[in-house]
Structure 1
Amino acid sequence: MNWLAKLMMSEGRPKADRAFDDRRRAADTLSLAELEPAHSVLELEPGKGWFTGLLLELIDSSGKLVVQQPSALDAFFGKDARRRVERTGKPHARYSSSSWEELDAQDASIDRVIWLQGPHELWFMPQPEISFGRPSKVFSEIERVLRRNGKFLLIDNLAPSGIDQASAGALHRSVPDELKALIEATGLSLSHEDRDWIIEPDDPLDVPTYDPKAHLKTRQFAQLYTK
């Protein structure tokens, strides 16, 4: 059994997490990001912490893990991811509830930034006074914290063709070309893209991802950027 298979089957991972591995292409995600135990990793928007659990198993004391999710998102995801990080007691892993406009890392200190099913949040305003960050500012922050040759992996829900990102954000989806333009404007370069990362033929695309027609069965795309 290779190291990746051992990681996926680790006893430290709950069975409930493993149940999502195939559907969300966990092993492929780890491979695409070229993650290593000694990396410094910043995970944005862990949600309930499914991928956080994998990162906690993978990143050892020679690396570090920062999991960052603005506290306003606790209303949607609870504090499961925070508890996962804090329960480990690992000094090289910590949780941050700061705004994504101020990423909790020093300049050029991060090897990998991982953002799964999340960039669309920058266009989602659950209430008029709540914003999760200005896209150009947040993507510039990602560029700031990455080391030279560091990588930023995003995976998000695909929007239907013919709409702009503002409209897609309301559906909790993203338009790949618009993200690419914004991210490359920071100086990062798209090094890999897969618009069929997860193929769900029954996803109607034009409904919010929480709609029963799409919930847990959205089409998703992957983009990998390099500094």
Structure 2
Amino acid sequence: MRALVIALLLAFAAPAVAADYSAAIADSHRPAADTARDAARKPADMLEFIGLKPGMKVMDLIPGSGYFTRLFAAAVGPKGHVYAYQPTEFDGFLKDKEPAVNAVAKEYPNVTVVRASVNALTVPDKLNVIWTSQNYHDLKNGGGSDTAQVNKAAFAALKHGGLYIVLDHAAAPGSGARDTNTLHRIDPATVKAEVMAAGFVYIGDSAALANPADDHTKAVFDPAIRGHTDQFVLKFKKP
């Protein structure tokens, strides 16, 4: 009995072992254009912050070229699934081309591209995670997207205990949504308030992509700051 008690105490006292995402990052399907961005985008930190596990169901909301879609697909494995949600409200950015993420789905059997209204945000499965990267601010920039409705739809699409994670370029404190169309930035406090208004509980953030040297006055495409903007990563939970 004494030995059992000691073993239990040691087990509870032992530090948690971080998940190893090296295989997902080293996945051979990742193109050179993606791996070249790893130093700036810190995929290991992001995957650990999310806490992805094999078998999870994830949405990559507004996936762009599929940088994170590929990582998620490798991390959740064949028993998991990734929905790359390409909003029709963003079709203007495509300039009559098919979404770049379509090519990702051809390489990963566990990736499905969904092209539909972002305000509906529905997929066949209840999700463990909804992730959106560097695009929340664009929901403010026309096209018919409604941020409040998107957040409510995200809440409905998640399982209880599911996570909603928003990564974006930081704007100056107190600026709200003023700079979403000019500098392509948004005040993290505004994002936090909007997401919590949909019923989510804020549970933490990551400073892995923070850059104190960014004074928040330049557009994110400015060569002086591009790829090195001050970025926030907020984590919310559906109760």
Match of 2:93 in 1: 76
Q: CA deviation at 1:74?
A: 4.7
Q: CA deviation at 1:76?
A: 3.3
Match of 1:33 in 2: 50
1:8–1:54: 8 Å Cα contact kept in structure 2?
A: yes
Match of 1:118 in 2: 135
1:203–1:213: 8 Å Cα contact kept in structure 2?
A: no
Matched residues in 2 for 1:148 and 1:203: separation? Answer: 37
1:184–1:190: 8 Å Cα contact kept in structure 2?
A: yes
Q: Which amino acid aligns with 2:175?
A: I
Match of 2:118 in 1: 100
Q: CA deviation at 1:89?
A: 5.7
2:209 to 198, 206, 215: 198
Gap regions ≥5 residues in structure 2: 1-18
Matched residues in 1 for 2:213 and 2:107: separation? Answer: 39
Q: Tell me, what secondary structure is at the counterpart of 2:208?
A: strand
1:56–1:93: 8 Å Cα contact kept in structure 2?
A: yes
Match of 1:66 in 2: 83
TM-score (norm: length of structure 2): 0.83
| Structure showing greater Rg | 2
Q: Tell me, what secondary structure is at the counterpart of 1:168?
A: coil
Across the aligned residues of Structure 1 and Structure 2, the Cα RMSD in angstroms comes to: 1.9
Q: Tell me, what secondary structure is at the counterpart of 1:197?
A: coil
1:124–1:172: 8 Å Cα contact kept in structure 2?
A: no
Matched residues in 2 for 1:89 and 1:110: separation? Answer: 19
Match of 1:46 in 2: 63
Following superposition, which runs of at least 4 residues in structure 1 exceed 4 angstroms of deviation?
Answer: none
Match of 2:150 in 1: 138
Q: Which amino acid aligns with 2:115?
A: S
1:212 aligns with 2:223: yes
Number of aligned residue pairs: 216
Matched residues in 2 for 1:150 and 1:61: separation? Answer: 20
Deviations 1:78-98 (A, max 9, x none): 52212211x1261x3210111
Q: Tell me, what secondary structure is at the counterpart of 2:38?
A: coil
Q: CA deviation at 1:212?
A: 2.3
Deviations 1:146-200 (A, max 9, x none): 10111111111000123121x1212211111111111111111010123x43233
1:154–1:222: 8 Å Cα contact kept in structure 2?
A: yes
What is the identity percentage for the equivalent residue pairs of Structure 1 and Structure 2?
A: 24
Gap regions ≥5 residues in structure 1: none
Q: Which amino acid aligns with 2:107?
A: T
From the superposition, tell whether residues 89 and 5 of structure 1 become closer, same or farther in structure 2 (CA, over 3 Å): closer
1:169 aligns with 2:183: no
Q: Tell me, what secondary structure is at the counterpart of 2:128?
A: strand
Matched residues in 1 for 2:87 and 2:154: separation? Answer: 15
Q: Tell me, what secondary structure is at the counterpart of 1:12?
A: coil
